[in-house]
Structure 1
Amino acid sequence: MATAQQVPDILSPEFAENPYPAYQVMRDSAPLIWHEATQSYLISRYEDVERAFKDKESVFTTDNYDWQIEPVHGKTILQLSGREHSVRRALVAPAFRGSDLQQKFLPVIERNSRELINGFRRAGSVDLVKSYATRFPVNVIADMLGLDKADHARFHGWYTAVIAFLGNLSGDAQVTAAGERTRVEFAEYMFPIIRHRRENLGDDLLSTLCAAEVDGVRMSDEDIKAFCSLLLAAGGETTDKAIAGIFANLLLHPEQLAAVQEDRTLIDRAFAETLRYTPPVQMIMRQTARDVELSGGTVPAGATVTCLIGAANRDGSRFQDPDSFNIFREDLTTATAFSAAADHLAFALGRHFCVGALLAKAEVEIGVNQLLDAMPDVRFADGFDPVERGVFTRGPQTLPVEFTPVAS
C-alpha cells in the first residue's frame, strides 16, 4: 500500500488546482493510500469505488456520517440501514419520482427558472453561476417545501456552511463551528413551520412529509427537519455545480454545444457526461464493518474510506478516452444515468443512491432548455477561461457569458 507522500496530497494547492493528474497517478500506482491528515484510506479505481457504493456484502457502512453529517443536519436517512432505512426512504421517495414530480413540481421548476432568466434575458451578459446556478436549485427546493423564498439568502448561507463543513478535510475550527451553528439555526427556523404545517396541511412537499406514513411509521419533527436540511444542502450544491459544469463543458466544446442546441434530447447526455467528467461531488466516505481486500491492500475494520468519485469516473479500465468530454460516448448509458444502475458514480449507487437524482435531472432539463432558448448564441465573455474550484465539491465559481438578447 502506498502513502500520501508518493502522490500529490489531496490537501495541497497543486491538487486543488487540478486533481485529475493526481487521480491518474493514484489509479495507476497507488490505488489504496493511507492519508494521515484525514485519517482515511483513499481509493481511486472504478471497481473499488463501485464496490463500496453497491456494497452487496454489507462491508461499507455509512457509520462515518455519525460524525461527518449529523453535527450539521441531525440524524438523516443516510445513516440508517435495514428496515429502518427502507421505511424512511419509502416515506420520502415518492415526492421525487412519478406523478408527484411530474404534476406538482415540474411547474415549480419551470416557474423558478423562468423568473431568474427574466432578470437577465435582456442584458446580453450574465454570470451564470451568480445570477442563476446558485439561486435556481435553492429557490426550487424552498418552493417545493412551501417555504418563503424571501429567505433565500439564509438558505444559501446555511447550505454553504454545511458544504464547507463536509469538505473541511484540514479540520479548520472556524469552519467546523460555522457548520455546527447551522444545525441550531435551521432547527429554530424549521420546527415552528413543521408544527404549523402538521395542523394546516397543503399541497407542498413539507405537508407530504408531515402526512406520510408507511407500515405505521411517520416522520418525527426531527426527521423532517433533518431531511429538509439535507435536501437544501445536497440538492443546492450539486445542481448548482452541475448546471455550471454543463455550460462550461459545452462552451469549451462548441461542436457539442451546437448539437445540443439543435437537438434538446441531448441535454440528458450532456448532464450524464458532466457528472462523469467533472462530478460536482468529488468524494464520498464510507466506513468498513470488517477487514476488506481492495486494489493495493487491506483496509481494516472500522476504518474510514474516502471514495474518490472524480478519479473513478475517469478510470480508463471503465471508460474509453476518459479525460475527454464527449456527450456521444458509447460507454455511458443515458437511460440509466439517473438511476441506481448508472455507469458514472456521481450519485453513488445501491441503497444509498441519491434520492433526488430525478429531481436534479428535471431541474437540469428544464433549466438548460430555458437558458438555451434565452441565449441561442451563448458564448464566454471576452477573455474568460473557466476554472474549477474546490476539493470535496468542485465546479466553476464564476461563469460570465455573453449573448444576443431575444424576445421572451
Structure 2
Amino acid sequence: MTAAQQAPDILSPEFATDPYPFYRVLRDDYPLLWHEATQSYIVSRYEDVKRAFREPVFTTQNYDWQLEPVHGRTILQLDGREHAVRRALVAPAFRGSELQEKFLPVIRRNSRALIDTFRGTGQVDLVSDYATKFPINVIADMLGLREEDRGRFQGWYTSIIAFLGNLSQDEAVVEAGMRTREEFAEYMIPVIRERRENLGDDLLSTLCTAEIDGTRMSDEDIKAFCSLLLAAGGETTDKAIAALFLNLLQHPEQLAAVRADRELIPQAFAETLRFTPPVHMIMRQPAADVELSGGVIPAGSTVTCLIGAANRDDQHYADPESFDVFREDLPARTSFTAAADHLAFALGRHFCVGALLAKSEIEVGINDLLDAMPDPVLAPGFEPAELGVFTRGPQSVPVRFTPA
C-alpha cells in the first residue's frame, strides 16, 4: 500500500495488527478523512486533535449514543455550569489530601496483595496476573464494595469497554453492553441506597454526601459515575502498567535508570501515555462547521480523534517513534493536569478527572513490581503483540525474574 493509492482503513485487520505505520500515512496524506464505515471524520495531526479537545465548539454530544446506552448519563456529556458543578462534586476525591490520605493506602494494599501471589515464583504475566486486576480491585475497594464481588466487576468492565470500542457495531457486543447496564444497576442502586443510610469512610459515601450550591447527586447519577469510573479508571491504568513495563523491558538501559531513580517513574508513565497510549481514539461532535487541515467538518458530525497518531506527530515531537523516558519535549510536571502536552487524557474542560489517581496507581504499582523483581526479563522467545483499536495494550507480558 502507498499513500497515493489508498487511504488507511481503521477497521482493517492490518490496522488492528499495527496501526502506527498507518498513522503516519494519515498524518502526512489524509489529515482529514471521511470514513464511511464509522460515519465519521478522522483527524490525526497533533494540532487538529488538540483543537478538538480544547475548543468549546467541539462538544461531547457523541457520548449520547456512544456511552449513555451502557452507562446512563455521565459527566462526560455535560457542558457549562452543569458540567462544572458535577465535576466539582466528584473531583476532590481524586486529588490532594483525599487521594493521599484516604485512597493511597487502598492502592498500596491492593498492589501488594496481587504481587504476593507471584512474588516467590520467579515468573508472572503482568497482564493477566496483575495489570487487568489491579485498577478494578482498587476501584471496588475505594467504593467500599465486597471483595467477593470483584469478579463481577471484572466482567462488567470488559463488557463496557467492548461496547465503547464497538466501531463495527457488532450486535452481540451491543447486547452484552445492554445486559451489563441492567445488571450493574440492579447491583449498585440498592448498595447506594444502603450506603446513604450507613455512611462510611469510602468513595461511595463521599459521592452520597457531596454537595455544591445545594446540588447533590441522585442514585442514578452515582450509579452512572461508578460505571464510568469502572471503565475509564480500569482501562487507562490496566493498559498503561502493562505497556510501561513492556517499554522498559524492551529498553534495558532505561529500565536500569528508572530502577536506580524512582523519581523517573512519572516521566516513564508520561512517555508511555505518549508512545503507547491506552486509549487511541476519542470522539467529538462540533456544534458548528469547523475547518481542520484545509477541509470543513459540518456541524453535528462525528469526529474521530486519533490520539495514537497525534502523539507521534513529528511536527510536534522530536524522534516520535522512539520511547525515551529522558525526552525533553514532554514535561512530566504537567503531564497529569489539563495543561498536559500529550493527548492521552484529552485536554481542557473534559480532561480526565482520574489522571492523578492513575498516576498514584502507576507510581505504587511500578515501585512494587521493581522491588519484587530485581532482574526482570521477557520470557525467552516472546514476541510482543498489542490488541485493540479504540483502546489498545499488550496482549501479554510474560516476565521471568529471580525472587527478591
Question: How much does 1:376 deviate?
Answer: 1.1
Question: Residue type of the partner of 2:269?
Answer: F
- Residue 191 of structure 2 aligns to a residue in which SS? helix
Residue of 393, 397, 400 corresponding to 1:399: 397
CA distance in 2, matches of 1:337, 1:216: 33
Residues 3-402 of structure 1 mapped to structure 2, 5 A cutoff: 6-55=6-55, 58-402=56-400
Asked whether the equivalents of residues 30 and 296 of structure 1 are also in contact (C-alpha less than 8 Å), the reply is no
Residues 286 and 307 in structure 1, CA contact (< 8 A), matched pair in contact too = yes
Give, in angstroms, the shift of residue 6 of structure 1: 2.4
User: Percent identity of the aligned residues?
Assistant: 75
SS across alignment from 2:291: strand
Deviations 1:133-173 (A, max 9, x none): 00000000000000112111110111111111111111110
Residue 42 of structure 1 aligns to a residue whose secondary structure is: strand
Deviation at 1:7, TM superposition (A): 2.0
CA deviation digits over 1:366-393, x for unaligned, max 9? Answer: 0000000000101101111211111000
Cα separation, 1, equivalents of 2:165 and 2:66: 10
Q: Equivalent residue of 2:285, what SS?
A: strand
Aligned partners of 2:6, 2:46: CA distance in 1, in Å?
20
User: Residue 83 of structure 1 aligns to which amino acid in structure 2?
Assistant: R
Name the SS for the 1:287 alignment partner: strand
Is the partner of 2:22 in helix, strand or coil? helix
Equivalent residue of 2:10, what SS?
Answer: coil
Comparing 29-38 with 382-391, which one deviates more in the overlay?
382-391
Distance (whole Å) between structure 2 residues aligned to residue 185 and residue 195 of structure 1: 16
Q: Deviations over 1:303-349 (max 9, x none)?
A: 00000000000000110000000010100010000000001000000
For structure 2, list consecutive stretches of 5 or more residues without a partner in the other structure.
none
| Residues 89 and 207, structure 2, Cα contact 8 Å, conserved in 1 | yes
Report the 3-state secondary structure (helix = DSSP H, G, I; strand = E; otherwise coil) of the residue aligned with 1:6. Answer: coil
Question: 1:4 deviation in Å?
Answer: 12
Q: Distance in 1 between matches of 2:150 and 2:4?
A: 40
Residue pair 2:280, 2:391 contacting (<8 A) in 1 also: yes
Runs of 4+ residues over 4 Å off in structure 1: none
Q: Letter of the aligned partner of 2:170 in structure 1?
A: D
Matched position secondary structure for 1:257: helix
Following superposition, the deviation at residue 52 of structure 1 comes to: 0.6
Q: Residue 4 of structure 1 contacts residue 35 of structure 1 at CA under 8 Å; is this kept in 2? A: no
Partner letter of residue 49 of structure 1? V
User: Are 2:126 and 2:242, in contact at CA under 8 Å, matched by a contact in 1?
Assistant: yes
The 8 Å contact of residues 196 and 208 in structure 2, kept in 1 or not, is answered as yes
CA distance in structure 2 between the partners assigned to 1:231 and 1:285 by the alignment: 18
Measured after TM superposition, the shift of residue 8 of structure 1 is 2.1
Do 1:4 and 1:34's aligned partners in 2 also have CA atoms closer than 8 Å?
no
- In the aligned structure 2, how far is the partner of 1:33 from the partner of 1:183? 33
Distance 2:91 2:41 in 1: 32
Question: What stretches of structure 1 of length at least 5 have no aligned partner?
Answer: none
Aligned length: 402
Mapped partners of 2:4, 2:146: distance in 1 = 46
Q: 2-side partners of 1:378 and 1:169: how far apart? A: 37
Q: Given residue 302 of structure 2, which amino acid in structure 1 is its aligned partner? A: T
Say if 1:380 and 1:400, in contact at 8 Å, map to a contact too: yes
- Assess if the C-alpha contact under 8 Å between 1:8 and 1:14 holds in 2: no
| Mean CA deviation greater in 179-188 or 303-312 | 179-188
Cα offsets for 1:97-150 (capped at 9, x unmatched): 011000000000000000000010000001111110000000000000001121
Mapped to 2, the partners of 1:201 and 1:178 lie a distance apart of 33
State how far apart, in whole Å, the 2-side matches of 1:304 and 1:4 are: 25
User: CA-to-partner distance for each residue in 1:8-35, whole Å, 9 max, x for gaps?
Assistant: 2100011001101110001001100000
Contact 1:242–1:280, Cα closer than 8 Å, also in 2: yes
- Superposed displacement of residue 296, structure 1: 3.5
Decide whether aligned partners of structure 1 residues 200 and 328 sit closer, same or farther in structure 2, where only a CA change above 3 A counts: same
